[in-house]
Amino acid sequence: MSNYHIKNLEEYFQVYRKSIRDPESFWEEIAEENFMWSKRWDKVLEYDLSKPEISWYKGAKLNITENCIDRHLYTRGDKTAIIFEPNDPSEKSEHITYKQLHERVCRFANVLLEHGIEKGDRVCIYLPMIPEQAISLLACARIGAIHSVVFAGFSATALSTRINDSDCKMVITSDGSYRGNKTIDLKGIVDEALESCPSVKTVLVAKRINSEIAMKPNRDKWLLPLLDEAYHHCVPVVMDAEDPLFILYTSGSTGKPKGMVHTTAGYMVYTAYTFKNVFQYRENDVFWCTADIGWITGHSYIVYGPLANGATTLMFEGVPSYPDFGRFWQVVEKHKVNQFYTAPTAIRALAKERLDFSENYDLSSLKILGSVGEPINEEAWHWYNDNIGKKNCPIVDTWWQTETGGIMISPIPYSTPTIPTYATLPLPGIQPALMDENGEELKGNLVSGRLCIKFPWPGMARTIWGNHERYRETYFSTFENKYFTGDGALRDSTGYYRITGRVDDVIIVSGHNLGTAPIEDAINEHPAVAESAIVGFPHDVKGNALYGFVILKEIGETRLHENLRKEINQIITEHIGPIAKLDKIQFTTGLPKTRSGKIMRRILRKIAEKDTDNLGDISTLLNPEVVQEIIDSAI
């Protein structure tokens, strides 16, 4: 029996039990049998969760790109590694074979070397979903540079904060990007960001939309001529198992974004293993994950997980609504996609449209459907199951996080019976625990509490860039010797997990993690604003939308409030990006506060949800009278 590829429920339980009984030998066998190592590890796992210090495959040497590309060259050299499907359906798609990918990554890696990038240097990638994006990640990994991808929907301010946090030496971007029928001036955003980024010496610019852009002498270089001139071979740099592979920023409930650091060997083993099992990938399948590489889902399940398995992975540049709401399904038909992995927010948006958008296409190639990023509601699950899967495709509701590197709780298709809204069972090697308010683990079934993981797994982030104490404090201080996820969950009578949502001040809007603090900080920059508080409220497409309660310095005339609302959203767009815009803004004269001055978001949340009948005891507030005023003027 191979541990690597689970094929039925009995095998799942066997493998799971083994992985818990003896995690080291479980992860050792997987690493041994499926990857290419320059040197074997001395020890599979060393850890101390109180510090926390975690080391997987200590002493091993490898390069992840050899595992993702070179080792497939003899057996799969002419197989398509990446299918690129452009924004505009009339533009030709591109098929990049493993051989071609090898050559393109090597050339790109040589361009990085020629521009002084060395092992351990940070390179910021701010690109649309074009092949250069995947290739640039791999080129960094080839020479041991640490990539830091910033989603190309983030604003100049958000970009510069991330570049400065990890002192990136280089930015890789493009002249612009396509998004449906719009173009976005990415290079202009980079120029603005770089006004305050002294560490950046070089900007490499890919051509995508052929727009006229300013090129700063000595700093900005067109990528294409450099690639053409570069040598097509590049010897991979030998990395230690625990050398950082990349940094990826995620929002916290407070403070600036956290640069989660993932390291080389553990991340590779974990993403490869979870990809193979959760999507039951078979040779010659075409796998499509609709995420952007700017998020962890794209890193793990567009680039590293699929390529480590020699898979064909599809990159889509466009949006589900352009040129019409049938675009996803047209791509499925065109490329005969076998596994399709998307977010509930996309499913809900498409479910609102006419059925013939999906009925017009042949979806019979589909075998497995996936969902990620937020809880999938029952209605969306059924729509997905009935209309896309035709009740024939298992749906994998995969729960995980930027911090976990790969999927943690998910059905294994054809093995785990699925139930709508349940992420079901932990993958082998994953030991979830539900904790009560007093820090005690809730044993047995039919319990709900805070979701922790009580044993290390290879894909976990090792630290927050430049701030290990924050890493300890955020994830390992709430419950002793356990990783705290920030999510709540319940375990039903059969042991299945259902994720119930965040228990902190992170709000998930359209599958994107947004911390309330940075949004409030942005709003408070407006000269008319004295104070603000953001909460989430249910939204039928986005899952959650943002509701802002804003105290103005002077009340002003009501007719000016509409302009103020626009200006507040403008400031948020500038500081963070359009994804963080508020759906509702209510002006108020006060916010409910505890006697120690803390805003009682619980009460604001209830008001935003229009559930004001059970606000609980408000008499202990510093200013209970303000609650009625807020209820009366709620939107």
Contact positions vs ligand PRX (CB under 6 A): 250, 296-297, 372-375, 397-402, 423, 485-487, 499, 502, 508, 513
* Interatomic CA distance for residues 399 and 483, integer angstroms: 15
Closer to ligand PRX by Cβ: residue 295 or 455: 295
* Interatomic CA distance for residues 382 and 374, integer angstroms: 16
Closer to ligand PRX by Cβ: residue 326 or 486: 486
Give the dihedral sign, CA 324/300/402/110: negative
Smallest separation, CB 187 to ligand PRX (Å): 27
Smallest separation, CB 506 to ligand PRX (Å): 7
CB-count exposure of residue 19 (10 Å: 0-12, 13-18, 19+): buried
Smallest separation, CB 346 to ligand PRX (Å): 13
Closer to ligand PRX by Cβ: residue 297 or 312: 297
Closer to ligand PRX by Cβ: residue 191 or 374: 374
The three-state secondary structure class of 616 is coil
Closer to ligand PRX by Cβ: residue 312 or 513: 513
Provide the token pair at 441. 């683990």
Closer to ligand PRX by Cβ: residue 280 or 371: 371
* Interatomic CA distance for residues 545 and 369, integer angstroms: 26
| Residue type present at position 577 | G
* Interatomic CA distance for residues 87 and 292, integer angstroms: 13
Smallest separation, CB 234 to ligand PRX (Å): 31
Closer to ligand PRX by Cβ: residue 180 or 420: 420
Closest residue to ligand PRX, Cβ-based?
402
Closer to ligand PRX by Cβ: residue 106 or 396: 396
- Residues ≥6 apart with Cβ < 8 Å to 218: none
Closer to ligand PRX by Cβ: residue 169 or 348: 348
Smallest separation, CB 84 to ligand PRX (Å): 23
Smallest separation, CB 268 to ligand PRX (Å): 18
> 12 near 41, Cβ under 8 Å?
no
Smallest separation, CB 511 to ligand PRX (Å): 7
Provide the token pair at 430. 């994953």
* Interatomic CA distance for residues 549 and 604, integer angstroms: 8
Smallest separation, CB 250 to ligand PRX (Å): 5
- At 268, give phi and psi (nearest 5°): -60, -50
Smallest separation, CB 45 to ligand PRX (Å): 23
* Interatomic CA distance for residues 34 and 275, integer angstroms: 13
Q: Which long-range contacts (CB under 8 A, 24 or more apart) does 423-427 make?
A: 423/397, 423/398, 423/399, 423/496, 423/497, 423/498, 423/499, 424/397, 424/496, 424/497, 425/12, 425/16, 425/495, 425/496, 425/497, 426/16, 426/497, 427/274, 427/277, 427/278
The three-state secondary structure class of 41 is coil
Smallest separation, CB 364 to ligand PRX (Å): 26
Closer to ligand PRX by Cβ: residue 250 or 387: 250
Smallest separation, CB 262 to ligand PRX (Å): 12
Provide the token pair at 130. 């074009």
* Interatomic CA distance for residues 161 and 152, integer angstroms: 14
Smallest separation, CB 488 to ligand PRX (Å): 9
Provide the token pair at 344. 């509930």
Closer to ligand PRX by Cβ: residue 374 or 520: 374
CB-count exposure of residue 340 (10 Å: 0-12, 13-18, 19+): buried
Closer to ligand PRX by Cβ: residue 223 or 545: 545
User: What crossing angle do the helices spanning 131-143 and 98-114 adopt, rounded to 10°?
Assistant: 60
Closer to ligand PRX by Cβ: residue 538 or 556: 538
* Interatomic CA distance for residues 521 and 468, integer angstroms: 24
Where helices occur in 69-194 by DSSP H, the ranges are 73-76, 98-114, 131-143, 156-165, 186-194
Whether cis (ω within 30° of 0) applies to the bond prior to 323 is yes
Provide the token pair at 95. 């098929």
Closer to ligand PRX by Cβ: residue 23 or 344: 344
Smallest separation, CB 82 to ligand PRX (Å): 21
| Other Cβ atoms closer than 10 A to 170 | 23
Smallest separation, CB 451 to ligand PRX (Å): 8
